[in-house]
Amino acid sequence: MLRSFMKDLISYIPAQVLPGFIAFLSVLVFTRLIPPGDYGNYTLVMATVTIFTSISGWVGMGVIRFYVPFKESGKERDFKAGVTYLCLLTVSTVGVAFCLALMMLTQRLEPQLGLLMRIGVVIFIARAVSDVLCQFLRVQYRLGWFSAYKTWEAGGTLLLGLLLVQGLGTGVKGLLWGAAIASLLAVVPLWRQLLGDVRLEINQSAFWRLAREVAAYSLPLVAGNLAAWVLSLGDRYVLAVLRSSYEVGIYAAAYSIAEKSILMLSTLFMLASGQLMVEIWETRGKAAAGTLLMSVMRAYLILCLPAVAGLAALSKLAMDMLTGAEYAAGYRVLPWVAAGAFFLGFQQRFQAALVLKKKTVPIMVSLLMAGLLNILLNLIFVPRYGYIAAAIITLVCYAVLAGFMAVLSRREFTWHFPWGSLARSALASSIMAAAVYPIGQWLTRSLLVNLGAGITVGIGVYIFVLYVTGELRPAEKQKIAQLFNKKVLLVVNGMARGWFR
């Protein structure tokens, strides 16, 4: 069971690491191509696309939860046909709503932002359809295709956007058209691979039964996703209205670096454990699912806590390297947002227990409460303190959400939480951050050298403290020793060849 999780975790790494690296590269490139004000508008458009994509995401959620039962009952083709209808109907309806919202708000939006939002409609349509198709890739374990799509979505957006901005001088419009074209180009091959052989013939009563079942499960999660959107993106709108798009740009660049660093890891855990958790629950029962949840949580703590601590210690260095000079002041945001992203991934582990029991309403309520708290605090503090207040509020609200989810989850499904691993990982991360901070600040004048040295020392110190405190299991110690010996042997052999050449 744990071996299956680790296998899936490794399989999903290309789908997260490559797009994650490209996302960092995008921040580096975009913040040097356009000023903070334009980057702020770009962020607002992509945030709005995320809102409408979240609304249409109920269909994809149904694929994750119901594909296995339908397949095992021999109704896979009917399920695919029903989902196809639901997808097309939903995307069409939400797309019209997007257009109507733009028409109603035309007079209130800046002319440039209104034009950019129209490009956002195209991005929404392509990504909403692609997201549903990607859920089929996940449940069918076609992880190569999944990784290829995620890499193309990030890389194609960067390459096409760069081509349009540099080659045609289109400015921020080119970045958005790059995202739209990249997403549209991906839809056709995905559709042919997954739904090309599906006949759009389905019994009407069976279709509406499927729609009701998926809606009963997914719609509370959609409401929850919208609240999650408020938590992660709502502060951009508050900043835009009460401060300026310039501040939105600085905040969004820093937020993107911090969030993508940690969410790359937490999303990896969610992708690897989500479908496996459902299968274990359906086939092996509650006890086996609880054991898997504990193992996943332990792995999450061991990998993500040091990432947060390391990013906090190297925040100024990371911001100087990855953004243009106008954005450098945003480094103060990184530690707060990274810690908030950690709590977002943390609560997903507890949320999984509620999802398994199809108790999605408590998830919705928790997210709504945290989202409303986020908006309230932003309205109170952002006008006076600006984007640093928005960053601190992000951490507070994600921590509150994690508390809600832990309490509600354990009422439905009790499993053993790895408190010892939490304590030892937190201790090791603190020691690592203390060791890394001076390296990032004063080691050399080269940002790249300081970053490389900081990461190398940080990994070494963290593993050493875990080893000393007894957190690492015998098999884990053996793997680390084998890897260390292999690296040392490579270095020694290389030095020997150099000496005797």
| 449 domain residue, yes or no | no
What is the largest distance, in Å, between two alpha-carbon atoms of the chain?
Answer: 79
Cβ–Cβ < 8 Å for 236, 32: no
Neighbours of 243 (CB within 10 A): 18
Say what the pLDDT of residue 491 is: 42
Residue 162: exposure state from Cβ atoms within 10 A (0-12, 13-18, ≥19) = middle
The residue assigned the tokens 């997260």 is 16
| 10 pLDDT above the threshold of 60 | no
Say what the pLDDT of residue 393 is: 95
Of all residues in the chain, the percent with pLDDT exceeding 70 is 87
- Rounded Cα gap, residues 83 and 56, in angstroms: 12
| 490 pLDDT above the threshold of 90 | no
| 483 domain residue, yes or no | no
| 151 domain residue, yes or no | yes
Cβ–Cβ < 8 Å for 305, 263: no
Q: For residue range 392-429, what is the model confidence (pLDDT) as tens digits? A: 999 999 999 999 888 888 777 777 888 999 999 999 99
| 470 domain residue, yes or no | no
DSSP tag of 423:
H
Question: 226 lies in which domain range?
Answer: 2-417
Write out the two tokens for 180. Answer: 């739209």
| 500 pLDDT above the threshold of 50 | no
- Rounded Cα gap, residues 108 and 111, in angstroms: 9
Question: pTM score > 0.75 for this model?
Answer: no
- Closest by Cα among 173, 39, 175, 186 to 112: 173
| 127 domain residue, yes or no | yes
- Rounded Cα gap, residues 484 and 358, in angstroms: 44
Write out the two tokens for 376. Answer: 């309230």
Say what the pLDDT of residue 499 is: 41
CA 211 to chain centre: 27
HSE (side-chain half, CA atoms, 13 Å) at 66: 25
Alpha helix (H) residue ranges in 199-333:
204-242, 245-284, 286-313, 315-322
| 355 pLDDT above the threshold of 90 | no
| 480 domain residue, yes or no | no
**Residues 6+ positions from 227 with CB-CB distance below 8 Å:** 364, 367, 368, 370, 371, 372
Residue 444 — φ and ψ, nearest 5°? -140, 180
Residue 445: exposure state from Cβ atoms within 10 A (0-12, 13-18, ≥19) = exposed
275 φψ region: left (φ > 0), alpha (ψ -120 to 50), beta (else): alpha
| 280 pLDDT above the threshold of 90 | no
**Residues 6+ positions from 407 with CB-CB distance below 8 Å:** none
Q: For residue range 227-265, what is the model confidence (pLDDT) as tens digits? A: 777 777 888 889 988 888 889 999 988 888 887 778 777
| 455 domain residue, yes or no | no
Number of domains in the chain: 1
Say what the pLDDT of residue 390 is: 94
What's the residue count for the chain?
501
Of all residues in the chain, the percent with pLDDT exceeding 90 is 25
| 472 domain residue, yes or no | no
